[in-house]
A and B are shown apart, each in its own frame.
Chain A
Amino acid sequence: MTEFRLPSLGADMDEGKLLEWKVKPGDAVRKGDVVAVVDTTKAAVEVEIWQEGVIEALLIEPGTTVPVGTAIAMLRVPGEAPGMVPPAAPAAASPPVSAPSPKAPSGPVSAPAEATVPSARKPVSPAARKLAAALGLDPDRIEGTGPHGVVTLDDVERARGKAPPATASVPTPAADRAAEMRKSIAAAMSRSKREIPHYYLAETIPMQRAADWLAAENARRPLTGRILMAVLQLKAVALALQGFPELNGFWRDGAFQPSKAVHLGVAISIRQGGLVAPAIRDVPSLDLDRLMASLADLVKRARAGNLRSSEFSDPTITVTNLGDAGAESTFAVIYPPQVAIVGFGRVAPRPWVDGGEVRAMPTVVASISGDHRVSDGHRGAAFLVELARRLQEPEKL
């Protein structure tokens, strides 16, 4: 029997609230299956499991907030017989009030029965759900009197009269969520600036070739198949990084752990304020079409608050791109435990010396912020030179 513990879904996550179980006791799961949806301060995230087995028991109920590392489910690994729940309740840093402890095995059958949670979502009308959230009520605990037991506005109003004052595990209204996100960004960025000795480098890169190639390429494509300059930049970063392992990986427990794979975190601003930087996995292996599709999908889901847990914990380095509306250059703050971040300013025509003459040419200022505990400016500069070279050969990206 193995405990499945609430994973950390980012450096800034201390706790999470279980919104929904996607599995029930008895379900077989495989590595990568989504087992739960957890609300972090940034978004509702689908949590994947990293071990094969059969869910034996669910230890916490939806609506419960628990610290990272708390056992939230028991997993029977292949080979184990069912019903072998260990007699002691799983140790948790601070067990949640509502978590039912798994029962000691009194018989060989149906041990997990008490710990189950109904897997079907309770019907709640959209207006009732909104009001319940505003009032800090859990709509799943309100008795529904509408057709098919739907929880309606009237039911929420009735529950409001009886309900105890809002507890810590209430749903987070949108305004609170913005404040929470601001808090978590503050925590991560303060930690970064406190712990990471940053060095900063920048290089202006001519983009005429990339722009010409992209214009010709897009002219051949249907409107829906067009790719963005940002995609070329992401791909160039990923390919350039392959020669610079000291920029790609994590600083953990006082040591650097390089990563073989390049999973690019993409900084995405959220309309209500704040930002997230989920990963596009294994960027060097993606052709531009697939990278474009991944980027579009990621932006859409990030703004809908619909990301997966691995996308938060995976990035081995982050890229921030100010885009067309941005400033000329950016010197970004490293997102711990990563050890570097690459920034792109706005691509715009600027004076450029070419063959002894000044010409107007699209250029971009690329920058790198590096962790001086891991790498030196010399290597950072070499990386920018390699990045510039890659962007002069757009057809090879």
Chain B
Amino acid sequence: MTITYREALRMGLREALARDQRVFLVGEDVGRYGGTYAVSKGLLDEFGPERVRDAPLSELGFVGAGIGAALGGLKPIVEVMTVNFSLLPLDQIVNTAAILRHMSGGQFAVPLVIRMSTGAGRQLAAQHSHSFEGWYAHVPGIKIVAPATIDDAHGMLGAALDDGNPVLVFEYPALFETAGELSSARVDIAHAQVRRQGTRATIVAYGASVPKALAAADQLAAEGINAEVVDLRVLRPLDMDTVLASVRKTRRAVIVDEGWRSGSLSAEIVARIMEQAFYDLDAPVARVCREEVPIPYPRHLEEAALPQPEKIVAAVKGLFQ
């Protein structure tokens, strides 16, 4: 069955709501409006206002309410419209959800899933185009997942609800219109995955950068460089076994990160490759990141500020010449 990334997300939500009465969805405009990105369209009619709840414009309040509901035995799915607005409930996420199990000596789990859209590429300008997955991946106590494929967009939500701990699911508006085959394979939220086999270089990417990495690998193949693409999928905890196995095979790595370079998730991955695979490398590890500027509004400048297949191709070729 061929569906879009958006439809895959909606299908995952519908299945989660249908499977377990404790699951409910809460967020701004998720009910009557059907979701800012139309992900939850139709779910209010299907499951009713108890299960699909419109929240007031107070992220700090409704994320906190979600944590309370999780502590009380429910399985909330909280939608924060975009990662840009998640800076308001940052205290609830980092200081409460991530830490309560520790602070209570293991007495309280927080089985909470927070969904939010992230990333740039849709001309939403500097305040609505952030990529802060790397910030959240810094925090112990939460898991961070980044679906880049139809299967992951569909299946990661269920796996997150089954986890029993706070999981942040980052959704990529840049991918919402992409379509693909939905398979029946179960997905986990533990492993990175090789999306394309290769021998000469490893391109590590996540989220909206994965299709760009695959496009770059196609171009490189035409020029005789057979590149492997690793989709991180889970940004915390990182599955370095998969990354290192690939790098040890190809001996070269380019990390693609839509976030800013300084202090980014890509920096962490480079550091771990240095720590664990330095002697297997045949070239310094390279990175393709967001330019260190606020995202510009004009399309051509926005595109110039983001990782693009051409930049990835150039970075990989730079390892050879």
Contacts and interface: CB of A to CB of B under 8 A. Distances in A.
A128 B282 contact: yes
B318 A127 contact: no
B280 A146 contact: no
Contact of A127 (B280, B319, B321): B280
A147 B251 contact: no
Given A147-B283, A152-B283, A126 B321 contact: no
Interface of B is mostly: loop
Contact of B280 (A126, A147, A150, A152): A126
A130 interface: yes
A126 B319 contact: no
Interface in A112-164: 125-130, 146-147, 150, 152-153
B269 to A, nearest CB: 17
14 contacts: A125-B281, A125-B282, A125-B283, A126-B282, A127-B280, A127-B281, A146-B283, A146-B321, A147-B318, A147-B320, A147-B321, A150-B283, A152-B282, A153-B282
Given A150-B283, A152-B283, A153-B282, A127 B251 contact: yes
B281 A126 contact: yes
Interface residues of A, number: 11
Contacts of A146: 282-283, 320-321
B278 interface: yes
Interface string B305-321: 00000000000001111
A126 B318 CA distance: 17
Contacts of B279: 126-127, 129-130
A1 B193 CA distance: 66
Contacts of B281: 125-127
B318 A153 contact: no
Contacts of B318: 147
Interface size class of B (residues with CB under 8 A): 10 to 19
A164 to B, nearest CB: 24
Contacts of A128: 282
Contacts of A129: 279
Interface of B: 251, 278-283, 318-321
Interface of A is mostly: helix
A156 B44 CA distance: 65
A146 B281 CA distance: 13
A152 B281 CA distance: 9
Given A125-B283, A146-B320, A147-B319, 5 more contacts: A126-B278, A126-B282, A127-B251, A146-B321, A153-B251
Contacts of A127: 251, 279-282
Contacts of A130: 279-280
A52 B251 CA distance: 46
A152 B251 CA distance: 10
A150 B319 CA distance: 10
A129 B278 CA distance: 11
Nearest to A127: B282
B266 to A, nearest CB: 20
Interface in A282-338: none
Contacts of A150: 283
A153 B251 CA distance: 9
B183 to A, nearest CB: 36
A127 B284 CA distance: 11
A150 B282 CA distance: 9
Nearest to A150: B283
Contacts of B278: 126
Interface string A90-118: 00000000000000000000000000000
Contacts of A152: 282-283
A130 B319 CA distance: 18
Contacts of B283: 125, 146-147, 150, 152
A143 to B, nearest CB: 15
A141 B102 CA distance: 57
A14 to B, nearest CB: 30
Contacts of A147: 283, 318-321
A208 to B, nearest CB: 39
Contacts of A125: 281-283
